Amino acid sequence: MDPTQKKETQHAQEVTNAVPGEPLTTESQLLDTSASMTQDFSPIKNVCAVLNAFHVYADDRSKVVEASHYCSHLNEDFRQCLIYDSNAKNARLIGVEYMISPKVYETLEPEERLLWHSHVFEVKSGMLIMPKPHLVPETVWEVAENKEMEDLVQVYGKTYHMWQVDRGDKLPLGAPKLMTSVTESDVTPGLWEKVAERDKKLGSDYKRKTEVREKIKSPKIHPDADHWTAEKAVPKEQVHVAAATN
């Protein structure tokens, strides 16, 4: 089947929750309800933090994607996060992110370290947030959020997206894409407008968070991290090679 026919076939399919497929039948809904009441969901129940930020493509710094993180600790030095395109019940699972402490990062091979990013700018700029529950006062939530940010500003993350929803894909197509955090050197078009839209949706304010996080100390970033930034000027092909060999 040629690409045109594939597109026509995909467009002809029914779409439910932004993906090809028919709505759940009553039977499927009943089975899902029964399974949710009887099965063990321990790994999911271990999720202890919900974060929201923006990821940038390592090989194209002009493209940015909003990312809702649902994270759990495996130990004090390692977190793992499921990445969704929103915080809605029918959100699409678009990627994963692993977070490690500086101590663990130092143990990695130099080639592996190139795939990891820092979170310093995300934290200090107010871009990385823990969405506030509706009934919790802002001042109370800021104390808890800032405590979490004091930890997150230290860690390094490795992120892959399997589903390019930003380009309109209705299914997870092609190879996974290495993603990164936003850094101070990025000039991604429309980035801060997107952050402001996110803030309006989630009841946040990145400008205020910049002020209240002023006292959070910025750690020194390892020279091997954020290896796609303008200052380090790493060619796109090096990013692809590093990703392909790991």
83 neighbors 166 (Cβ within 8 angstroms): no
Place of tokens 């529950």: 133
Q: Which of 29-33, 124-128, 141-145 has the lowest mean pLDDT?
A: 29-33
Q: How many CB atoms lie within 10 A of CB 196?
A: 14
What value, to the nearest 5°, has the Cα angle with vertex 123 and ends 193 and 129? 65
3-class DSSP state of 21: coil
Q: How far is CA 57 from the centre of its chain?
A: 11
Instruction: Please name the residues in contact with 123: beta carbons below 8 A apart, sequence gap of 6 or more.
Output: 149, 152, 153, 213, 216
The pLDDT assigned to 232 comes to: 55
Q: Read off the pLDDT of residues 47-57 as tens digits, 9 standing for 90 and up.
A: 989 999 999 99
Predicted structure pTM score: 0.84
Q: Tell me the β-bridge partners of 50.
A: 70
Q: What is the pLDDT of residues 55-87, one digit of tens each?
A: 999 999 999 999 999 999 999 999 999 999 999
The Cα–Cα gap between 153 and 121 comes to: 8
In the beta sheet, which residues pair with residue 15? 20
Say which residue the tokens 């990312």 belong to.
Answer: 67
Bridge-based pairing of strands 15-16 and 19-20 is antiparallel
* SS3 label, residue 18: coil
pLDDT in tens, 204-219: 999 999 999 999 999 9
